[in-house]
Structure 1
Amino acid sequence: MDDVFVGSLMSSPVYTVSNDTSLQNAGETMREHEIGSIIVVGDDDHLEGIITATDFIHVVAEGDPDPNATVASVMSTDVITTTASESVQTAADIMIEHGFDHLPVLDGEVVIGVITTTDLTAYLSTTEDPSPS
């Protein structure tokens, strides 16, 4: 997998919201597009954070969320990223090491995609024979 690059497998376009987007609107966007995360960007499309389906589970588990709550209140801001030219192997290693299912892909400081465990699984399913056969 060292000769396969993130840019060839990443999900794009990227669905984004601003940090003042309501949790409800972010959740509706994720449901509408059947995605497990949404990227939070500033006015200049620079990465500010990420919110995942797991983050929504935590909100619900902690009790009724504030109806006016925004993604800024629950998003992860210490986001590890990758680039389109990074090997898929390296991206997979990062995801395993940190327990991530979603890894934003940047070009400079602009988000251009997301690589997910689903992307990696789909790739492997086309290149490897099932085991056991």
Structure 2
Amino acid sequence: MLKVRSIMTPSPTTIGPNAKIWEAANTMLDHRISGLPVVDDAGRLLGIISESDFLQRGEIHTDARHGLWREFFSSRGRLAEEYARSFGNDVAEVMSSPAATIQPDASVETAAKLMAEKNVKRLPVVEGDEIIGIVTRFDIMAALVRDVTSYHAERADSDIRNALEAELARQKWGDSVNLRVADGVVTLEGRVLDLREKNAMQVAAENTAGVKRVDNRVQVVAPPDMPVPPPGFYL
């Protein structure tokens, strides 16, 4: 089972809680990342600030606007929190806290489910009190694509083998060969009495869809007391 440790980005870029939000924005732009773990001086995770935190800002009039009923039923504390997040200048005032985290030995499937449940795009990877990495939706997608590609590659090898075995079974000369297929490369092994049989096996393998290369190790051997005919002997 694929673990988070194997796909995470180790030693992620972080920022302190007292940094200004525009410092965080510049750091994200400089490193081409969309989120930053926020850590204290001891390296303990306090929260996370992401690109979405810059999309609802009072300065650009994208902060959340509430109707009368929402303001009436929302607690004073909740409204104050939203105001601070929209107009705050320090990372600590804007970050999401506590941040959803994951352990390095958790499965990739667990990370994907947690991201979906929490509706987040990234998870800090923590070991004890230390943040050792970060895993994103992109990392999970890339791992998924690799697994799917690997799976289909195995199926393709199986399909190639089945197709070639079926073709050789239809030929009278095709029953004296053993074959293997790995990553589209066909390996032929065995012994035949006639060079033409070896050549025909080569052609059959080369003409099988999906074959990238043929490693023909078939040996031409002579019966006792009969020399092997030289190439070109048969007309």
Q: TM-score, normalised by structure 2?
A: 0.51
Q: Is the 8 A contact 2:100 2:118 kept in 1?
A: no
8 Å Cα contact 2:20/2:91 also seen in 1: yes
Partner of 2:195: none
Unaligned runs of 5+ in 1: none
SS in 2 for 1:120: helix
Gaps of 5+ in 2: 65-85, 150-235
Of Structure 1 and Structure 2, the greater helix share is in 2
Partner Cα separation in structure 1 for residue 10 and residue 126 of structure 2? 12
Higher relative contact order (Cα pairs below 8 Å, separated by 6+ residues):
1
Q: What TM-score comes out, normalization by structure 1 length? A: 0.87
* Aligned pairs (5 A) from 1:69-108: 69-108=89-128
TM superposition shift of 1:86: 0.6
SS of the equivalent of 1:17 reads: coil
Matched, 1:62 2:63: yes
Specify the structure having the higher radius of gyration (Cα).
Answer: 2
Q: CA deviation at 1:13?
A: 2.4
SS in 2 for 1:16: coil
Query: RMSD of aligned C-alpha atoms?
Result: 1.7
CA–CA separation in structure 2 for the residues paired with 1:49 and 1:84: 18
Write the distance in 2 (CA, Å) between the matches of 1:8 and 1:58: 34
Counterpart of 1:47 in structure 2: which amino acid? L
The aligned residue for residue 17 of structure 2 is 19
What is residue 116 of structure 1 aligned with on the other side? 136
Quick one: which amino acid aligns to residue 111 of structure 1?
Answer: I
Q: CA deviation at 1:127?
A: 2.0
- Give the paired residue count: 125
Q: Tell me, in whole angstroms, the C-alpha distance in 2 between the residues paired with 1:54 and 1:48.
A: 18
1:10 pairs with 2:8: yes
Deviation at 1:43, TM superposition (A): 0.8
Question: Between the two proteins, what is the percent identity of the paired residues?
Answer: 33
Structure 1 residue runs of 4 or more that deviate by more than 3 Å after TM superposition: none
- Is 1:49 the counterpart of 2:69? The answer is no
